[in-house]
Each structure stands twice: as C-alpha cells, then as structure tokens.
C-alpha cells in the first residue's frame, strides 16, 4: 500500500507531466522553466528534433512549431518509480498534428506515437524534470514520408 508521501509524490509528478503538455500545446514556452531543472538534458532526436538544454529546446520550439497549425500531446499510462528525492518514469504520448496542406489543398493531419522517458528530481520548488528522452514508435501520414532521423512506421528507433 502506498503511503501518503508516495501518493503525493506521484500526483505531483503526474501534474508535472500534464503541465508540460499544456505548456507546449498552448505555445507557452516560458512555462517550461517551471517544469525542468536549470541543467536539464532534453533529447528529442528520435523524432527528428534536437538534443540540448532547456534554453536551446525553447529556441528550437519557437522556430519550428509555427510550421504546425495545431497539435496536442495526449500523455498517459505513465509508469513511475519514486525513490526518495529522485524518480523515473515512462509515459506514452499520442501527438496528432495539423500542417498546412499547401496551395489549394486542405490541411493535413498526421500522427506521432512515442514514449517519454523521464528522470525527475525533487527540488525546493517541487518536482522537476532533469532529463527527458523521446523514443519514437511511429509517424503516420507524415507529409513527404518519414521525417529525417525517424524510425519507419511501427518500428522503434
């Protein structure tokens, strides 16, 4: 049976995961500052993006996300392991995205399925992500085929 502290830790980490999705989906890049440690390492290379620090990731998101008309991150089935002031977690992410279809074409919807593998630490401000790594499961209906560096449909990288 989970104790009160364990329940609290898990709920706080789950709120952190939810807050990440809301920050990205609402394009509130500065909200990410309250979710990651200042020295966090973020690796999105599995989906064709970058590996870097939080400031590098934020600058990258500001530059590439306007290419998308809309997107959502549905994160769930998180498996968390909490040990004192550190925790690890793996969560599934289903990420539908909409891109402009081009001249005289309707917008195109494509899907990305991935896992987030996270390392969390308890700070004086609460739980924060110290590391986030994407593991790609698939892209479906991606314009022009597969994005650079991504795995073929149905086969993890």
Burial group, residue 22, by CB count within 10 angstroms (0-12, 13-18, 19+)? exposed
- pLDDT score for 148: 53
Q: Which among 136, 42, 60, 59 is positioned nearest to 147, based on CA atoms? A: 136
- pLDDT score for 146: 63
Instruction: Give the Cα separation of 98 and 79 in Å (integer).
Output: 29
Tell me the mean pLDDT in the region 90-95. 97
Instruction: Give the Cα separation of 88 and 9 in Å (integer).
Output: 12
- pLDDT score for 154: 42
* Boundaries of every domain in the chain: 4-140
pLDDT exceeds 80 at position 147: no
pLDDT exceeds 60 at position 152: no
Instruction: Say what the pTM is.
Output: 0.89
- pLDDT score for 143: 78
Determine what percent of the chain is predicted with pLDDT higher than 90.
Answer: 78
4-140 CATH choice from 1.20.1250.20, 2.160.20.60, 3.10.450.50, 3.30.1950.10: 3.10.450.50
- pLDDT score for 153: 44
pLDDT exceeds 70 at position 155: no
- pLDDT score for 29: 97
């Amino acid at each position: 049976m989970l104790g009160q502290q364990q329940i609290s830790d898990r709920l706080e980490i789950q709120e952190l995961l939810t807050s990440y999705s809301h920050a990205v989906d609402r394009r509130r890049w500065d909200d990410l500052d309250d979710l990651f440690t200042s020295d966090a390492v973020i690796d999105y290379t599995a989906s064709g993006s970058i590996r870097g620090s939080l400031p590098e990731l934020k600058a990258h998101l500001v530059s590439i996300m306007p290419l998308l008309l809309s997107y959502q991150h549905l994160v769930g089935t998180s498996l968390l392991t909490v040990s004192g002031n550190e925790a690890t977690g793996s969560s599934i992410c289903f990420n539908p995205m909409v891109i402009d279809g081009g001249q005289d074409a309707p917008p195109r919807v494509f899907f990305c399925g991935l896992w987030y593998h996270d390392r969390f630490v308890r700070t004086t401000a609460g739980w924060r992500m110290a590391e986030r790594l994407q593991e790609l499961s698939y892209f479906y209906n991606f314009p022009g085929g597969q994005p650079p560096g991504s795995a073929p449909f149905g086969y993890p990288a």
